[in-house]
A = this chain, B = another copy of it.
Amino acid sequence: MERVPILKIGSILLVSIQVDMSDQTAVQLQEDLAERIVATGAHGVLIDITALDIVDSFVGRMLSTIASISKVLDAETVVVGMRPAVAITLVELGLSLNGIRTALNVERGMELIAAARDDDQDLDEDEDDAGPDGGPATETTASR
């Protein structure tokens, strides 16, 4: 049985779906992902579907299930890399991908997860918003 690899990048788990998903592969992926989220304390799951020519109701349901499982485990799920044709077919089929966030590519997906995370976090790092160079702020203090 084929197994979809799960890659850890920082606090994000990345899954690139390239093979046709069978019932068994889908269940295995859900179990593997749940285990990895718990083991790594990941904050987000990115599911890349660049390779998919079509997202039918089966895959749609799988994505929804993964999103629900991740949510319970305190991780955001973002589906990335959807092709234009896939989006059109999804709408034509009347599938809405309930509860699933999407982003255009992996980088935007990561930003989305980071942004969702920042909302939850305290705002410690906003204190020193003088800019990375910090030049002007120091000068003002010195000139007084």
Binding site for B on A (CB under 8 A): 2-5, 7-10, 14, 16, 18-19, 48, 50-51, 81, 105-107, 110, 128, 133-134, 138, 141-142
Contacts and interface: CB of A to CB of B under 8 A. Distances in A.
A48 B18 contact: no
A49 to B, nearest CB: 9
B105 A3 contact: no
A3 B50 CA distance: 10
B9 A81 contact: no
Contact of A141 (B4, B16, B51, B142): B142
Given A16-B16, A18-B16, A134-B128, A106 B141 contact: no
A16 B5 contact: yes
Contacts of A10: 107
Contacts of A110: 9
A58 to B, nearest CB: 19
